[in-house]
Each structure stands twice: as structure tokens, then as C-alpha cells.
Amino acid sequence: MKKKIILEIIDGVNKELTKNSDKWKQRYNGYLKKLEENEQALKELDSKFNNWKPLMLYSNLDELMNDVKFQFRFHGQRVAYISYNKDEDIILKPISETNNISSELELKKEFLWNSKEATEFREYFKNIENERKEVNMENKTEMISHFLKKFDEEKKTLKEIRPIKYYEICSFKMRTPLLVKNDPIDFERYEGQGGHIDIMAITRMEDNTSRLNVFEFENDKSAEDIIKKAVAYGVFMCHLLEDNEKWWNIINSKYGKPEVLEKNKKTIINVVALMPAPENGDGVAGFENQIYDVTANYSIEPYTLYYNKDIDEFTGFLPKVMMKRNS
């Protein structure tokens, strides 16, 4: 992808965000306040149970702001909520009507976390996990879940990468106010209409600095379309963090804002186009090794990351510039 096209995307998104700055700044500062207010209640709930593999703890911005509950997901599909009942007991609420949970499970609307039904629920997913042969590359939500798992596991093929988690509790889907499917990219017409960032993670780079990474994954789009969306979302994160750096407490609560090298002057956010490895082995070239200024204190740098299903490993430009450490 030519530099000119990326500059056009940055310019277009900058104009949309500037034109609608009062709207999105008010909204997102309100979101931040609610996320901060809900922190202790969600941390307390998290401390009262152990995560059940292969189920993944997950959430989204709306739930983290407004509820004291988490999702359990199985290969990207939401299968249950964990929360409190009116007596403040921890309960599990299966979502059988939306995910076709097997009739082998005798499910109530909800049951206590330490009950027999909860144990059977856990064992069921353990058993069917063992029977699964491979992930479904055609299912985007399943692939995103798979990538989060691979980024989070101990013996991972990508060293020095850590998925963003809300106060180190759970991965979550970050909302933006951008309609990236539109051409040109547009500002959302009503609150909550904008697209979501697929994955955010922190990587350690060759120069020993940490960077926020904004990943966009597609399995049926052109590389140019994926890069376009990743760049747009990265530009929004530059504006969001420029407006209020307290967001670093949410997305990187353990370490805060990454350090900035004197030579860079600005905080750099990696925008990563994540896609299946090309069959011919050729990747997308022509847009890497370029840093693009976005705001007064933030820049973006695009990268590619390819996933090879056959060997369950990552290749591409991003691994080449990450810090390498032995297993």
C-alpha cells in the first residue's frame, strides 16, 4: 500500500474526529468515568472465582461500564455470564438460546457457581474442547479468540506480546466512533454504531520500548482493506489518548503509559493488519518502516502479521521488530 493512501486515511479520520470532537470526547470521558467507578466491584467479583479453561473471560465496553458481570466465551462464542444474584451469591447464567448448547446439558436459567450444574457445565466444554481438531478460519470471532489465547499462553510463538485486559482481569472489545466500512470513513450517526477494535496488545520492541498495538483481522478481505481499518482505529486511539491519558490506566493498568525514546519524541502506536498467510508466501509490502504523525504527542507505525494455520504460527513484519527472547 502506498504511503499516499495511508496519509489520506489519516487525514480523513483526523478531519472526522476534529469535526465531531465535542461529541466523542464527551462520550468517551463519560465511558472512562464509569469504567473507573466500576473497577473495584469487578475486581471483587473476579477474586471470587477461578477461570475455567477452555472458557475465556471476556467483556465489552458497555458491560464493563454498566454491570458487575463477565462473559464466558468458548472459541469466540458467548456461552454464559458470571455475576451476582439478589443474595450476592455468585451465579452462572448459560446462554443456551443463542449458542445452541447441547441438549446433553440440563440447564436452568441460572445456577450457583459452586453447584453440581456448574461443574457439569465446565466439564462439558472441557470434553468438547478435547474433541475439536482445529479452529475455523472462516469464523472471525473464533479466530480472534484463538489469537488472544495464543498471545496469552506461556509457550507462545510470539514473545513479548501481552493482550490488553481491563485492569488485568479480562480481554474486552474496544468501541470506536468510526464507520470504517464507509468510503470515505465516516463518524457514527448514533452512539454505539461505530466499529470495534478486534484486539489490542502491548509488545516489547527491539529498542526495548513497549508499544500499544491495534490489530485488525479479516479472513475474507484484501490486505488493503485490513490495513485501512487498522490505520483508522489506530488514529482514533491516538486522539483518545491525546485527549485523556487516563485511558492508559484502563488498557495498561500494570505499567501505564509506555516510555518514549528521545529519538522518537512521540508515543508510537503499532497498527497491525492481521491476516491468513498468503499461499504463495508473498506478503504485502510498501507501507512498513514508516512512522506517521497523527496528533501532537502520538504517531502510528503500520505492520503486517500473518497467521499460518498449518503450523499454528505467526510470520510477517511485526515479529521481525519485536524483542526476541528464548523460551
Task: Kindly indicate the confidence band of residue 181, based on its pLDDT and cuts at 50, 70 and 90.
Answer: confident
pLDDT (tens digit per residue) in 273-318: 999 988 765 555 556 678 999 999 999 999 989 998 888 889 888 8
Please give the pLDDT value at position 60.
93
Average pLDDT over residues 143-149: 92
Would the pLDDT of 5 be above 70? Answer: yes
Least confident of 51-55, 77-81, 167-171, 198-202: 51-55
Under a CB-based contact definition with an 8 Å cutoff, are residues 178 and 233 in contact? yes
The pLDDT, as a whole number, for residue 243 is: 97
Model confidence at 326: pLDDT above 80: no
Judge whether residue 11 has pLDDT over 90.
yes
Confidence of residue 211 (pLDDT cuts 50, 70, 90): very high
35-74 confidence digits (pLDDT tens) = 999 999 999 999 999 888 889 999 999 999 999 999 999 8
> Which pLDDT band, with edges at 50, 70 and 90, does 154 fall under?
low
- Predicted pLDDT of residue 161: 92
* Pairing label, strands 199-204, 210-217: antiparallel
Q: What is the mean pLDDT of residues 184-194?
A: 91
Q: Each residue of 82-133: pLDDT tens digit? A: 999 989 999 999 886 555 555 566 666 788 999 998 888 888 888 888 777 6
**pLDDT at res. 7:** 94
Helix ranges, the chain (H): 3-19, 21-37, 39-46, 61-66, 96-99, 116-131, 140-152, 223-243, 247-251, 317-321
Between the ranges 11-25, 219-233, 283-297, 304-318, where is the mean pLDDT highest? 11-25
Written in H, E and C, the secondary structure of 138-160 is CCHHHHHHHHHHHHHCCCCCCCC
Cis status, amide bond into 302, omega within 30 of 0: no
Give me the pLDDT at residue 99, please: 55
Reported as a pLDDT band with limits 50, 70 and 90, residue 6 is very high
Specify the pLDDT at position 203. 93
* Most distant CA atoms of the chain, gap in Å: 61
pLDDT of residue 264: 66
- Work out the average pLDDT over 123-147: 85
Averaged pLDDT of the chain: 88
Map out the domains of the chain as residue ranges.
Answer: 3-37+137-321, 51-131
What secondary structure does DSSP assign to 189-200, as a single string?
SSTT-S-EESEE
> Rounded to whole angstroms, how far apart are CA atoms 206 and 20?
37
How far, in Å, are 234, 235, 248, 282, 321 from residue 254 at the CA level?
A: 21, 24, 9, 38, 23
